[in-house]
Structure 1
Amino acid sequence: MRLVSWNVNGLRACVNKGFHDYFRQVGADIFCIQETKLQEGQIRMDIGEDYEGYWNYAEKKGYSGTAVWTRVKPLSVRYGIEEDREPEGRILTLEFEAFYLVTVYTPNAKRDLSRLDYRLEWEDRFRDYLVSLDALKPVVVCGDLNVAHQEIDIKNAKSNRGNSGFTDQEREKMTRLLGSGFVDTFRHLYPERTDVYSWWSNMPGVRERNVGWRIDYFLASARLTPAITDASVDCDIRGSDHCPVVLDLAVHG
């Protein structure tokens, strides 16, 4: 089973930059996106009859939002944490026979860290939610987690320490989440691979010089690790300031 996750940073813009070409090329069984930045009825997607789509829209127009297309019909779908429909549309949970899939757009602490306290409280609630799911069946978590966990996951670690997305507090929350029974699938397979990033600033030349951050992930319950056949980052795919990340699992939905 192939799973793909991509922060499209505005789906309407990404569609005009080759989204459908990549969608057809990658051959995902489940395709998740974050930052759709639209409301219901604002876009028409040419995805194909093989897929069912599920959307969690933010109440604020042009902001946040998540979506999933899947070839495998889910047993259930949740919008937000548990049954709470969060106003920012950040979480979608699809239950399949073999696992729960959670796609998430984690809140940004903001450049001035004005939202850091909220972010840290949100992280605790999200971790508790994942642990509660994991008690029932394995979990796959994907999306923009808005944190570079280790120094290897960011180009300029020293100069960025303390900045939004690389504060000690945010990194510690990621460490705690992984310590609760989850693995970073990419690092599980490639613990020492350097210069692999999923987000680049829009400043001129930054992406060309690969001055990036790895903040988009596939995490999985530790007991799923024997089923991980590959985890990759499609760094060459444009269309957003993020690129897609891919997980191949030897499981059936």
Structure 2
Amino acid sequence: MRIITCNTNGIRAAQRKGFFTWLSQQNADVVCIQETKAQIHQLDPAVFSPEGYHCTYNDAQRPGYSGTAVFSRVKPKKLVTELGWEPMDSQGRYLQVDFKGLSVISLYVPSGSNGDEAQNRKEIFMEKFLPHLQALKRKRREFVICGDWNICHRAIDLKNWRANRKNSGFLPHERAWLDQVFDEVGWVDVFRRINPDPDQYTWWSNRGQAWAKNVGWRLDYMLCTPGVAATAASASIYRDERFSDHAPLIIDFDTDVEA
């Protein structure tokens, strides 16, 4: 099972940069996308519903904003597009597809980098989403949550960590929240289990030479329940082409997606 996750920062922009051409060569079983920034009626199915996939989009009500999508080879048994609270539901930030014994989620966590009001929305998300993570963990199925989490967990996860200790995305209590998700609730950061190396980033500012100099942040994770995490075999971040300010994260598992 190959799963790919990517924040496209506008799926139409990513398409113009070759994202779907690249994706057609990846043999992925499930693809999770965040920040589609489009309504479904704006997307030509011939381009944005790739052949061989069952494609589901969860659009934000606000045009040109947020949104998630999941493409899967196997048709999902069930879809979950709402959590019952804002701003998650109206902004299309959560999309869960259920297969036999396995669920895959595309998640777009609110950013807090645009000021106190934005950070407050992110804080509310963290407070409300933790019980949901606890509830999922108790279910008798495996989960893979793919997404832009907008938090770096440790100093190894961003280049300029010292300068960012007071900035959204690397605040002490945000990192402590992830500690709780991993250490207390029991979710697994699969990429870090496989790859402990530094300089492994998935987002780069468009300012200066951040991309060229690899001055980045690791904001995109696949968090897994322990059973499916134990089958993870390889992980990579694709940087040969640039489709977005985020890079695709690819993880291969020694298991199958079953209908």
The TM-score bracket by the shorter chain reads over 0.9
1: CA distance between counterparts of 2:241 and 2:67? 21
Tell me, yes or no, if the aligned pair for 1:37 and 1:62 is still in contact at 8 Å.
yes
Q: 87, 90, 102: which is aligned to 1:87?
A: 90
Paired AA for residue 180 in structure 2: R
2: CA distance between counterparts of 1:160 and 1:110? 11
Structure 2 residue 181 is matched with structure 1 residue 177: yes
Tell me, yes or no, if the aligned pair for 1:198 and 1:212 is still in contact at 8 Å.
yes
Query: Is the partner of 2:223 in helix, strand or coil?
Result: strand
- Structure 1: gaps spanning 5 or more residues: none
- Structure 2: gaps spanning 5 or more residues: none
- CA shift in 2, pair 1:204/1:49, >3 Å: same
Tell me, yes or no, if the aligned pair for 2:144 and 2:222 is still in contact at 8 Å.
yes
Tell me, yes or no, if the aligned pair for 2:32 and 2:105 is still in contact at 8 Å.
no
2: CA distance between counterparts of 1:227 and 1:82? 32
Equivalent positions of 1:1-253 (< 5 A) are: 1-45=1-45, 46=47, 47-81=49-83, 86-136=89-139, 137-179=141-183, 180-191=185-196, 193-253=197-257
Paired AA for residue 243 in structure 2: G
How much identity, in percent, do the aligned residues show? 37
Which moved further from structure 2: 219-228 or 29-38?
219-228
2: CA distance between counterparts of 1:133 and 1:82? 15
Tell me, yes or no, if the aligned pair for 2:237 and 2:250 is still in contact at 8 Å.
yes
2: CA distance between counterparts of 1:220 and 1:212? 24
**Alignment RMSD (CA, Å):** 1.6
- Deviations for 1:139-193, whole angstroms, at most 9, x for unmatched residues? 11111000111100000000011111111121111111112111110111122x0
Which has more helix, going by share of residues?
2
Query: Is the partner of 1:50 in helix, strand or coil?
Result: coil
1: CA distance between counterparts of 2:57 and 2:100? 21
1: CA distance between counterparts of 2:85 and 2:217? 32
Query: Is the partner of 2:210 in helix, strand or coil?
Result: coil
Query: Is the partner of 1:32 in helix, strand or coil?
Result: strand
- Deviations for 1:200-219, whole angstroms, at most 9, x for unmatched residues? 00012110000000000111
Task: Number of aligned residue pairs: give it.
Answer: 252
2: CA distance between counterparts of 1:113 and 1:144? 20
- CA shift in 2, pair 1:160/1:183, >3 Å: same
Paired AA for residue 170 in structure 2: F
Paired AA for residue 174 in structure 1: L
TM (norm. structure 2) is 0.92
Paired AA for residue 81 in structure 2: Y
Query: Is the partner of 1:25 in helix, strand or coil?
Result: coil
